[in-house]
Amino acid sequence: MEIPESKYAVSKSKRVSITAIMTALAIVGNYSLVTVPNVELGSIVLFVTAYVFGIQMAVTSTLVMSIIYGSINPWGAFIPEIWFAQVIGWLFVVTAGALLSNSDPTSLLDRPSGKVIGGVGAFVTLFFDLVTTIAYSWVFGVPFVIALITGAFFIGVHVGSNAILFGLAIPSLVPALREQLANQIWDIEPASETEE
């Protein structure tokens, strides 16, 4: 499946600004619920970034966010292998968002189904957790099956919470962004009137 590219342009200054805003929101999303283990909002922000603004902006936001969050992680010291696994997981999230997106950022008909997006949220989160569990297993020399069994509760919380949060938040965020900000973000030329 090909990742759709938008036919609408975003100026370089707007692209930098939006990327910075979405990156900051993803970081805040990761830190805001840090007292609740494995419940986070950062993945939703990254998914929405890819869904609304495209894969390039989402990848940039993901990489910058992952460097900052990995360097100042409230859950422990920076471990390169686990950080790399997280980056792979987050890139999977944004790829899914880009693949599901309608390439027309002004489309008001593109209202993703909460059930579908909730299912996608569960799937990408499960992938993220499996990849990071593999990295954890490798770094600490714990057999993967043991790491999976001991982490099953936390994986379940992460997958379940993201299924609910994706399903509730994204179907509302996407149309709101497009309805409220389309003309301020994308360089949209008005349709030429046909002569009668």
Q: Where are the domains of the chain?
A: 12-185
Region for residue 166 given its phi and psi (left: phi exceeds 0; alpha: psi -120 to 50; beta: otherwise): alpha
Q: How confident is the model at residue 132, as a pLDDT?
A: 96
Q: What CATH architecture applies to the domain 12-185?
A: Orthogonal Bundle (1.10)
Number of residues that this document lists for the chain: 196
pTM of the prediction? 0.86
Q: How confident is the model at residue 193, as a pLDDT?
A: 43
Q: How confident is the model at residue 195, as a pLDDT?
A: 42
Closest CA to 44 of 33, 29, 24, 60: 29
Q: How many CA atoms lie within 13 A of 129 on its CB side?
A: 25
pLDDT under 70: residue ranges of the chain: 1-10, 103-110, 182-196
Q: How confident is the model at residue 12, as a pLDDT?
A: 81
Q: How confident is the model at residue 108, as a pLDDT?
A: 55
Q: 């609740």: which residue's tokens? A: 36
Q: How confident is the model at residue 41, as a pLDDT?
A: 96
Alpha helical stretches, state H, 9-151: 12-32, 42-53, 55-71, 80-100, 114-140, 144-150
Q: How confident is the model at residue 74, as a pLDDT?
A: 75
| CA angle (137 as vertex; 135, 139 as ends), nearest 5 | 65
Q: How confident is the model at residue 190, as a pLDDT?
A: 46
- Tally of CB atoms within 10 A around 8: 16
3-state secondary structure of 169: helix
Please, are residues 125 and 39 in contact by the beta-carbon 8 Å criterion?
A: no
